[in-house]
Structure 1
Amino acid sequence: MQFPTTRTVTQSHHGDDHVTLDYDARFLRRKVLTSNGGIQFLVDLDQTASLNRGDAFQLDDGRLIEIVPASEALMEVTGDLTRMAWHIGNRHTPCQIEDGRLLIQHDHVLRDMLEQLGATLRDVVEPFTPEGGAYGHGRTHGHAH
């Protein structure tokens, strides 16, 4: 079966359709996806990309498929946010930073550590768009900056 293909990611808030992906699924290079409207298409990028709201796949037939972050199970962290952010970052954990709270993915070891540090934790379900890497856009891995 032949799918429409995309080799291009662009900025768009007015796509012909959209695809809802969680944080882990928004890190990809090559994969067949199905839009919320049922369009199957092949993502075939030159390199792995970290995608977020506002990005869109441009199909070879010209259609745009917007990327929408899916709601997922997260931990909301409140308390001494500067201190908590330091400890979360020290463990290279993706973290969404907002006024008055931090959001991280569920991890029982981090939960225990943050509770011991005095954080208040609450389970939430919402889209997750953590901060990108300090040395460029998107995610970074390791220390080879």
Structure 2
Amino acid sequence: MIVEEVVANIDQLDPTILASTHKEKVYLESSDLVKRIQRVTTDHGKEIGIRLKEARDLQAGDVLYMDEKNMIIVEVFPDDLLIIQPKSIKEMGTIAHQLGNRHLPAQFEENQMLVQYDYLVEDLLQQLEIPYMREKRKVRQAFRHIGHSHD
């Protein structure tokens, strides 16, 4: 089977459809969410080729296939993350500036900044006394690195 488009996301589906449908899952690393072409295997051993026509990233919960009885859903493995919780706008600005200088991608959930674990960032957070915790957590989207040069 070759998947060329995402059918929907489970967040958009009627709960009664979700409850009555058999679900297979494709487990991906968050870094694989940006790949438009890849070969994957479901948790039931079915091989699937993904070749997305649309230039888009996969997300946790994306439905790759669905019929009346079955669906195949993208599930994401947890990432090793630093969950940064600044106490003030000054702390947020300071750490955002420092991470921006390193070109590190970040995601935001409520009052938390999420970055992939890096011992140098952890050392920096300790030096700046900015509250954080290290945690394995699933992210919905890939951490996308954006190329940039200082000309």
- Once the two structures are superposed, the pairs formed by residues 121-140 of structure 1 within 5 Å of their partners are 121-129=132-140, 139=144
Is the alpha carbon distance of 1:54 and 1:123 closer, same or farther for their aligned partners in structure 2, counting shifts above 3 Å? same
* Preserved CA contact (<8 Å) 1:77 1:119: yes
The structure carrying a bigger helix percent of its residues is: 2
The structure carrying a bigger strand percent of its residues is: 1
Q: 1:39 aligns with which of 46, 53, 70?
A: 46
Query: C-alpha displacement at 1:82, in angstroms?
Result: 4.0
RMSD, matched Cα = 2.9
Give the structure 2 partner of residue 89 of structure 1: 100
CA–CA distance in structure 2, aligned partners of residues 131 and 20 of structure 1: 14
Higher relative contact order (CA 8 A, sep 6+): 2
Give the structure 2 partner of residue 6 of structure 1: 3
The runs of 5 or more residues in structure 2 that have no matched partner are 11-17
TM-score, length of structure 1 as denominator length: 0.71
* Preserved CA contact (<8 Å) 2:30 2:142: no
* Preserved CA contact (<8 Å) 1:76 1:102: yes
Helix, strand or coil: the match of 1:18?
strand
How many residues are treated as equivalent by the alignment? 132
Q: Which runs of 4+ in 1 moved over 6 A?
A: none
Helix, strand or coil: the match of 1:8?
coil
The runs of 5 or more residues in structure 1 that have no matched partner are 133-138
